[in-house]
Structure 1
């Protein structure tokens, strides 16, 4: 384990303590984050360069390793524990995890703009806490994806400019 990895785990532990996680959860998150860092070091991958695909691959490998060691597959929700520890580590290093999606077309860019404005409105005008904002944004993203599929990008542009909040009412 490199000095930088030890510093990351120490910093992760401090963040988890400040967020009042239980000692057992802190120990588990840090242990799984450490195993992930060791895997990255073996492959000479920087934590800052980790992608969602790399995390998914690691978790598949972890399930296979669990099966080899114990002779059975882990429980259906086992993956949530290592995943949560790895995600906490990646949020610490990269600032945001999972990474924000990239716009692949004009409609995506419009949806992202609407969601960014909605997030600002929820935070500044309504004063919601981060978990509430995340929940509302998740619903808004699903709604906008459905609306885009239903109406197309041109109708979405008209719809977004015709509504005051840009989210909850549909003109058609």
Structure 2
């Protein structure tokens, strides 16, 4: 009798889980439709999601309990199934994994509310490291006033450092951390890296060691023992595109009337005209453009200052063409949106690296030095210098705190310096 009752209970539980799974898949389908994914993409996403939840069901794992390890287990299982079915590996296994993971990320973000989900630390040392990282983040935010991007980078580096310490990273051992531990980590971590990269790691490590001592986690303040390479101000000459290269890229992009072409042309026109930083362009909002007053409001990412710039005809027309003929319909207020569903705003300025790389290649230009947004920014600075615009105004346009920050661009005007003839007395030459 007890066995019958147990079987009935199991059937009820299975029925509830099946109903929950069907509900999740239904929500996923509505999500894809609402965000206007293409019909073919919807079918592929739903097919992969169905296989994923079927796999979880066979493992007796609820969808809500799925985290990164379960995703990796599913990918391994799915790859074995592929090999049995086709008797070979996918042509590009990395692309195959990327497609599956993209679907699982969208699906699990819907399930958890955010993804990757914040899992519970498995071991005591993981829990200790997480507590340290959270305390460090709060210290940087409240006492140092550091930006979220800086805090994210430094907490990531701190967790990496703690992990590399191994048993020395446990709570009791950390109190006796010494110079040898620091040296061993830096030798391993910085092998083969460039000086500026090494300098960045040492800055992060010094900050974390300062926090550890200040919070009583370590007996000694080891921050002063971390010595990075000396980096001199303005030791490198910034790279810039030549004016004719900028015009060639703009003209080649202008002739591309596809939605991507119109987006790229608007992005490049803003870069070339105003010398904006990549992050300042992708965070532009519709209300930042005043078409009646012909003005453009820019929030400078480094200084936090806001500039009101004149909206010039050519960049204005490029942006208007994008908005009218290429920008996806969306309730989002950012000017530039992703070209594929779900048409989100860009999370960072890295999209401009992709755009510029592709457009330079299309135009047949291989510039020396940096090829990203700063090459356009530097080119704009040089053009302003050659037009005899004062450094203070150049600094204001480019969003620098001071004229001294803009002075680095003087190095780029070398051709102008060569054109200046020195009137040397003949007796000096004789």
TM-score, structure 2 length as denominator?
0.31
- The answer to whether structure 1 residue 33 and structure 2 residue 84 are counterparts is no
| Equivalent in the alignment of 2:213 | 162
Residue by residue, what CA displacement relative to the aligned partner does 1:43-87 show, whole Å, maximum 9, x if unpaired? 553211224443222111110121123221123302122123213
| Equivalent in the alignment of 1:66 | 82
- The answer to whether structure 1 residue 110 and structure 2 residue 128 are counterparts is yes
CA distance in 2 between partners of 1:136 and 1:76 (Å):
33
| Equivalent in the alignment of 2:291 | none
Counterpart mapping for 1:80-95 below 5 A: 80-95=98-113
| Equivalent in the alignment of 1:10 | 29
Gaps in structure 1 of 5+ consecutive residues? none
Counterpart mapping for 1:117-136 below 5 A: 117-120=135-138, 125-128=145-148, 135-136=153-154
CA distance in 1 between partners of 2:154 and 2:139 (Å):
11
- From 73, 77, 80, the equivalent of 1:57 is 73
State the Cα distance separating 1:145 from its structure 2 match. 1.4
Does the Cα contact within 8 Å between 2:64 and 2:111 map onto a contact in 1?
yes
CA distance in 2 between partners of 1:170 and 1:13 (Å):
52
Does the Cα contact within 8 Å between 2:75 and 2:97 map onto a contact in 1?
yes
Q: Cα distance 1:145–1:63, how it changes in 2: closer, same or farther (>3 A)?
A: same
| Equivalent in the alignment of 2:93 | 76
Does the Cα contact within 8 Å between 2:45 and 2:103 map onto a contact in 1?
yes
Does the Cα contact within 8 Å between 1:12 and 1:88 map onto a contact in 2?
no
Q: How many residues align?
A: 162
CA distance in 2 between partners of 1:112 and 1:135 (Å):
15
Q: Cα distance 1:116–1:26, how it changes in 2: closer, same or farther (>3 A)?
A: farther
Secondary structure, in 3 states, of the residue corresponding to 1:66? helix
Does the Cα contact within 8 Å between 2:163 and 2:169 map onto a contact in 1?
no
Q: Cα distance 1:157–1:30, how it changes in 2: closer, same or farther (>3 A)?
A: farther
Residue by residue, what CA displacement relative to the aligned partner does 1:70-122 show, whole Å, maximum 9, x if unpaired? 221123302122123213322321344354241522x4333111212344466
Q: Cα distance 1:128–1:149, how it changes in 2: closer, same or farther (>3 A)?
A: same
Q: Cα distance 1:153–1:134, how it changes in 2: closer, same or farther (>3 A)?
A: same
> Which of the two has higher C-alpha Rg?
2
CA RMSD, 1 decimal:
3.9
CA distance in 1 between partners of 2:123 and 2:152 (Å):
22
Does the Cα contact within 8 Å between 2:25 and 2:46 map onto a contact in 1?
no
Of residues 60-69 and 147-156 in structure 1, the stretch that sits farther from structure 2 once superposed is 147-156
